[in-house]
Amino acid sequence: MTVKNICCIGAGYVGGPTMAVIAKKNPQINVNIVDINQERIDAWNSKDLSKLPVYEPGLADIVRDCRGINLFFSTKIDEAINTAEMIFISVNTPTKTYGKGKGMAADLKYVELCSRKIAEVAKTDKIVVEKSTLPVRTAEAIKSILHNTGNGINFHILSNPEFLAEGTAVQDLLNPDRVLIGGESKEAIESLSKVYGSWVSEDRILTTNLWSSELSKLTANAFLAQRVSSINAISELCEHTEANVNEVAKAIGMDSRIGPKFLKASVGFGGSCFQKDILNLVYIAKSYGLKEVADYWEQVVIMNDHQKRRFSDNLIKTLYNTVSGKKIAMLGWAFKKDTNDTRESAAIYVADHLLNEQANIAVYDPQVFEQKVLNDLNYLNTRTERENAEGIYSASTPYEAMKGAHAIAIMTEWDEFKDYDWQRIYDNMKKPAFVFDGRSLLDKEKMNKIGFEYYSIGQ
């Protein structure tokens, strides 16, 4: 089947950038991104490109080039489904917050709603591509919903997990390590391969069966998260010995079997994928009675929670066991640099802990603003919205956030933090001036020379 029209349901961090790149590289294909969230769609359509709902380096340029030409954002879901030969499901699949599998299993509510919608409105044959991260065998559920419509329409289901990382989404999409397509219909796989084939070489397009494709996505994220938890576990050991975690990471990373990437000790991994996907893997393993497998992977999340807690505990302990009434400046709120996404960011949990200890927190993040900070804390339900608003605020400049502070906590590795005037910051802080660098971003020697009491993970 030649694809002339693509519909993508879900205009989020995955759907938005992926479809923008597909549109850019396939001028002959019309790409319609639809969403139920009118506000989000309006933001994607905003004239001012700095107002796009997803901040990603390079994304605004592509949207500017393609929007209104072969890339469209709207809430007209039925219409987009009908005109498309190929439909991507790219909606969110958060961890369940209720019922069976609460806190562990993926909530497939939104995926199911999409499948039902497609079944209800489709009038011609479609290729349906599962793009969201889903538990193994979800394609089966989608298939069962679509195949039971009884209206004689053929649906081919493909799994095409996305491996882009936020902050580098556009580069990852333009130069993927691999594109993975799982499915049964050779013809459908061929159609999707052609879409990617416009810019990805054939040897990087990998095809597998549906289940291998689904499981590969969960496994890739579990392995990546495991590396971070592994180096973080070593960072704690380093802090009790004379070893330096950065030196250890370099030394082991030069072993080609280990490799140098993804060995940066930190205040803990965040993001919408790692924790959710591991918990999902754990839940699936448990549901097959595989206790050892489940326990093995669960430890990665336990270690990560420990790392976040350890960071705030250490800060409190160093500030003479109390932060009550003290001003703590948090640099960064996003879960990593170059994104405005804050889902599962370590900053949220560290702030929550410090607020329990009655700290006054000032946050500065170049891409995250006050309402999002408050929403993230309110979502935890630890205290009332009013109490959160009284305990934390977003400063409009970094210098204002750090002025008069007792301590600074670096939560995100934004490049600009390195270039601040640290002498000026020191001069305007309470003494002793503490810095807790959760990202090993700054130079310890330089900071000590200015006069800071500087603590970094694993040193």
Instruction: Determine which residue in the list 33, 59, 60, 91 makes contact with ligand ADP, applying CB under 6 A.
Output: 91
- What residue type is assigned to position 393 of the chain? Y
Shortest CB 68 distance to ligand UDX, Å: 28
Q: Which residues pair with 420 in a beta bridge?
A: none
Both structure tokens of 211: 């289940």
d(CA 91, CA 133): 9
Shortest CB 92 distance to ligand ADP, Å: 4
113 binds, among ligand UDX, ligand ADP, none (CB under 5 to 8 A by kind): ligand ADP
Both structure tokens of 403: 């002025």
- Alpha carbon of residue 443 to chain centroid: 27
Residues 320-349 that bind ligand UDX (CB under 6 A): 335-336
162 binds, among ligand ADP, ligand UDX, none (CB under 5 to 8 A by kind): ligand UDX
Angle between helices 274-287 and 291-318 (to 10 degrees): 150
- Are 199 and 25 within 8 A, CB to CB? yes
| 273 catalytically annotated | yes
- What residue type is assigned to position 442 of the chain? L
Q: Is 138 in the site for ligand ADP (CB under 6 A)?
A: no
CB atoms within 10 A of CB 256: 7
Instruction: Determine which residue in the list 6, 7, 11, 316 makes contact with ligand ADP, applying CB under 6 A.
Output: 11
Q: Is 441 in the site for ligand UDX (CB under 6 A)?
A: no
d(CA 331, CA 346): 12
d(CA 411, CA 270): 11
Q: Is 215 in the site for ligand UDX (CB under 6 A)?
A: no
91 binds, among ligand UDX, ligand ADP, none (CB under 5 to 8 A by kind): ligand ADP
Q: Mask: binding to ligand ADP, 19-58, rule CB under 6 A, as x and -?
A: ----------------xxx--x------------------
d(CA 412, CA 402): 15
211 binds, among ligand UDX, ligand ADP, none (CB under 5 to 8 A by kind): none
Span near ligand ADP by CB under 6 A; candidates 61-69, 109-117, 146-154, 282-290: 109-117
The per-residue b/e assignment along 71-105, b for 16 or more CB within 10 angstroms, e otherwise, is: bbbbeebeebbbebbbbbbbbbbebbeeeebeebb
Residues 261-320 that bind ligand UDX (CB under 6 A): 262-264, 266, 269-271, 273-274
Shortest CB 31 distance to ligand ADP, Å: 15
37 binds, among ligand UDX, ligand ADP, none (CB under 5 to 8 A by kind): ligand ADP
Instruction: Determine which residue in the list 32, 92, 312, 342 makes contact with ligand ADP, applying CB under 6 A.
Output: 92
- Are 336 and 413 within 8 A, CB to CB? yes
Strand ranges of the sheet holding 392-394, from the earlier edge strand across to the other edge: 392-394, 360-364, 327-331, 407-410, 434-437, 453-456
Contacts with 151 (C-beta within 8 Å, 6 or more apart), sequence order: none
Shortest CB 113 distance to ligand ADP, Å: 4
10 binds, among ligand UDX, ligand ADP, none (CB under 5 to 8 A by kind): ligand ADP
- Are 453 and 446 within 8 A, CB to CB? no
Shortest CB 43 distance to ligand ADP, Å: 10
Shortest CB 249 distance to ligand UDX, Å: 8
Burial, 36: exposed, middle or buried (Cβ in 10 Å; 0-12, 13-18, 19+)?
Answer: middle
Span near ligand ADP by CB under 6 A; candidates 43-51, 106-114, 138-146, 281-289: 106-114
12 binds, among ligand ADP, ligand UDX, none (CB under 5 to 8 A by kind): ligand ADP
Instruction: Determine which residue in the list 1, 46, 57, 163 makes contact with ligand UDX, applying CB under 6 A.
Output: 163
Q: Is 230 in the site for ligand UDX (CB under 6 A)?
A: no
336 binds, among ligand ADP, ligand UDX, none (CB under 5 to 8 A by kind): ligand UDX
How many residues line the site for ligand UDX (CB under 6 A)? 19
Shortest CB 458 distance to ligand UDX, Å: 11
Instruction: Determine which residue in the list 56, 162, 352, 365 makes contact with ligand UDX, applying CB under 6 A.
Output: 162
Shortest CB 360 distance to ligand UDX, Å: 25
Shortest CB 443 distance to ligand ADP, Å: 34
Positions touching ligand ADP (CB under 6 A) are: 9-15, 35-37, 40, 77, 90-92, 110, 113-114, 132, 272
Contact residues: ligand UDX, CB under 6 A: 162-166, 221, 224, 228, 262-264, 266, 269-271, 273-274, 335-336
Catalytic residues: 273
